[in-house]
Each structure stands twice: as C-alpha cells, then as structure tokens.
Structure 1
Amino acid sequence: MNLEFSFFTPNQHSLVESSTFAASDFVIRDVNLQDLDSIAEILADSFHSRTGIMQWLYPVLRLGIYEDLRTRLRSKSPNQIGLVAVIPSLKDASGNEYVAGTIEMAMRSCFGRRSSGSLYISNLAVSKTFRRQGVADKLLKACDLKALEWGFKEIELHVLDNNYPARQLYQKNGFQLQENEPDWILQFLNQPQKLLLRKSLANLNNR
C-alpha cells in the first residue's frame, strides 16, 4: 500500500496559489490509481473540519476515504465512473498531474435494487485553490455526456438544504428539486436536511 502524500515544491505551490485558470485549461479524464492521494485530500478537506477534536480524527478520515476510493477503483462495475479535472501542464513533486476537482457517478442503489432510469452523482468536490474557475461545471457537464453515452435519461444527486452555493451550482446546471427527504433524527438534532435534485437529459439528447 502506498500512502505517501504528493506535495508541490515551494515554487510550484506559489505558482498555483497565485494563478487563475480558464475553464478551458482543465481536462476531464477518468480517475487512475495515482490520483487517489489527491482526491482523498480534496474530499476530506471539503467535507470534514480540521478544528477541535476533528484535527486528530482528520488523518483517519482521510485514510478511510482513500481506502474507499481504492476499493471502488479496483472493483469498478458497469455504469460507474470516477472523473478528475486536471491541468496537464501542472505536475506535483512526484511528476503526477495536479488534481483540481473530482466527481463520481453510478447507478443509484435503492434497498438493494438498482434504478434503470437514472444515475446518481456523488463526491463532487473542488480543491480550494481552483474554486470559482469553472471546474465543477465542467465535471458536471462531463457526467451529462457520459450518462447520454450510456443511454440514461436522468441524473440525480443529494444536497444539504443549507448548502446554498451548491444548490445554486446545481440549479445553474439544470438540476431541479425533486423532493425533500426528511430525516426525523436530523430534524430532532436541528441538523440540515437532504434534498433530492434531478436533471432530465432529454433536451441534451435532442441537440
């Protein structure tokens, strides 16, 4: 198992931090094994806090994410894909392409059954360095094209009701509220609820 982290040299890090890229600079491709360290860091940083007790749990959470990613990559099933956005001209200290963002899409499983009409998007995350540069839009559009290639008519995803930037992003990309899925435990704990959003690909298929 290789759990070494890949880092930029100081000059590379400064260059990336101070640069702004156009959406056209990012290339979308399938995930490979060399991407997993970067993806695990992006997901952990996007969805987990590093403050308080979480700063001690963060490495464990990150390792768990890495192992989940590796398992999915090695046991890839039909109609399942992981994508990354990279800038081919940027390399880290190990010579790997620098991952700017990631997304996954697969057939949605519901009580052990798989829906035949829609795909489910998860783990959309963009490195803080590359946010507001069109990376998320480009990843979502890549999923649209892949879903059409596979012959699917709809894409679904969940978003928390208090995550307004994400809701705006999905609305801009054609997702509409399908239903509120109340979780009574979360309501009792005064936690945000999950919203199910759905996008029809019918118009895209007619272009």
Structure 2
Amino acid sequence: MDRKFLVSKEQFGYLVSEFGWKVRRLVEEEDEMRRVTQVQAEAFHVPVVLFNDLFFEFFKAEVFSGLVYKLRNSPPDRYACLVAVPADALNTKLESPQGLVGVADVTVLRDEVVLRHLEGAGEYLYVSGIAVSKDFRRRKVASVLLKACDMLSLLWGFDYLSLWAYEDDFAAQKLYTNAGYRVVSGDSPWITSWIGRKRRVLMIKRSTSGTSDKSSYKKFPCPIHLNLNHIQ
C-alpha cells in the first residue's frame, strides 16, 4: 500500500473504533491542545500539601509547552498525539474538545537500552503519556488507545512498540500484558535506590496489526521528547 495514502489515512481519519470509543490524531488547535493538556496534567500531577492548585497550574503549563514543542519539531511520521473520543460523536458538540476522553503519545525512538531487545530493529515506537479522564476510567479507553498505537506501527512501518511501567503498578502491567506487551528488563536496582525513584520495567510488543512493505519507509533522525508514561 502506498505510504502517502497510509499517512494521510491516519492523519485525517480514525485509527480504531471499538468498545464505544474511536481514536484519531490530535487536531492542532488551541482548544483541543489545552484539553489534551488538562487530561494528562490531571493524570500525572502529584498533589502537594500546600499551594496544590498553584503547582498544578505550573505543571499544566509545562505539559502544554512540551506538547507544543513536540508538534512543532517532529515530522508527522515521527510523533503523534492520539486522542480518544466517543464513537457516537456525530455532531460538532461531541466532536469538540469536551468530548475528548483519553490521550496517548507515540514517538519514534532509537534508544540502545531498548534496541538490544529488538532483533533486527534500528528504531521502534515508544508509547507514553497515556492518560484517561477520571470519569471514563475502567471503560476500555486505554485499551483502544493502545490498539491505535499498534495501528500506527503498521502505518509507519515499524515492527516493535515499547513502553515503561512502574514495577509496582500491577493494574497497568495487566493492561499492557493483555495488549500483547511483555516485560524484558527493568531499571538497575542501584539507580532506583540511589535516586529514590520507583523502579520501572521495560515492556515490548511486536506489532500484530498487519504487515507492510517496510523497504519503502525512510527513517529520520529522532528529536528529543519529554518522557511521560502513566496509565489511568
């Protein structure tokens, strides 16, 4: 299948529609970008005892700035912000940013820590920033987002997807395992004990969405991206 058609299809249409949700790329308009920021900020912000609202606004501004940077500095087949909306969104009201219920980032990377586990691969898709609005959790939104990430691996011509999960986040690991990911390694114990950071595990999946002629896919150098990885 022609690569230009594939890129056009995933950029202007829906990648997946299942369980009452459908997933498309972010519309690069301020209202939707701020809704994406709100969903991710609510998921990733760690509450503080004093001045929590103020710190939350600072954190949200940081998330928004990171999103703008990635959109402006990444080719369309190197980074995608995916959003989940109701599958029955047939009017402009439901298609508005208020109808957005979940978010995921997909980035092309070439980290040697990951590549050592990927036979014959020079790059892979890194899934991060997965967040679901609190009113829509446990309703398969994250599962549909993960399936859309898998579809991108077909459209962009990559064999592998990877993500990091916290070792003690069993719910997230179960979700990823059900989506086909497998734990292959983890942070070194001395790093987590010295820095005081929770230990993460690296999970890998071989793309199962389909097959494609990857000989026609040209790879580009990879820009630097913020590293957000959390599941709700």
TM-score of the two chains, using structure 2 as the length reference: 0.70
Cα pair 1:29 1:84 within 8 Å, conserved: yes
Partner of 2:36: 39
What's the offset of the Cα at 1:54? Answer: 6.2
Partner of 1:28: 23
Q: 1:52 aligns with which of 45, 49, 54?
A: 49
What's the offset of the Cα at 1:71? Answer: 1.7
Partner of 1:160: 166
Give a deviation string over 1:134-189, Cα, whole Å, max 9, x none. 11010110111110121111100001111111111001100000101226343135
Partner of 2:103: 102
| Pair 1:141-2:138 in alignment | no
Segments of structure 1 that go 5 or more residues without pairing to the other structure are 1-21
Report 1 or 2 for greater relative contact order, CA contacts < 8 Å, sequence distance ≥ 6. 2
Partner of 2:78: 79
Tell me the distance in 2 between the aligned counterparts of 1:189 and 1:200. 32
Shift in CA distance, 92/37, structure 1 to aligned 2, threshold 3 Å? farther
Cα pair 2:186 2:200 within 8 Å, conserved: yes
What's the offset of the Cα at 1:35? Answer: 1.6
Give a deviation string over 1:51-105, Cα, whole Å, max 9, x none. 4136131110111101111221222323321100012258779x54521000011
Cα pair 1:118 1:152 within 8 Å, conserved: yes
Partner of 2:226: none
For these two proteins, the number of residue pairs brought into alignment is: 182
**What is the identity, as a one-letter code, of the residue corresponding to 1:71?**
Y
Q: Secondary structure at the match of 2:32?
A: helix
**Structure with greater proportional strand content:** 1
Cα pair 1:107 1:116 within 8 Å, conserved: no
Q: RMSD across aligned C-alpha pairs, in angstroms?
A: 2.7
**What is the identity, as a one-letter code, of the residue corresponding to 2:20?**
D
Shift in CA distance, 104/96, structure 1 to aligned 2, threshold 3 Å? closer
**What is the identity, as a one-letter code, of the residue corresponding to 1:75?**
N
**What is the identity, as a one-letter code, of the residue corresponding to 1:48?**
H
Cα pair 2:71 2:79 within 8 Å, conserved: no
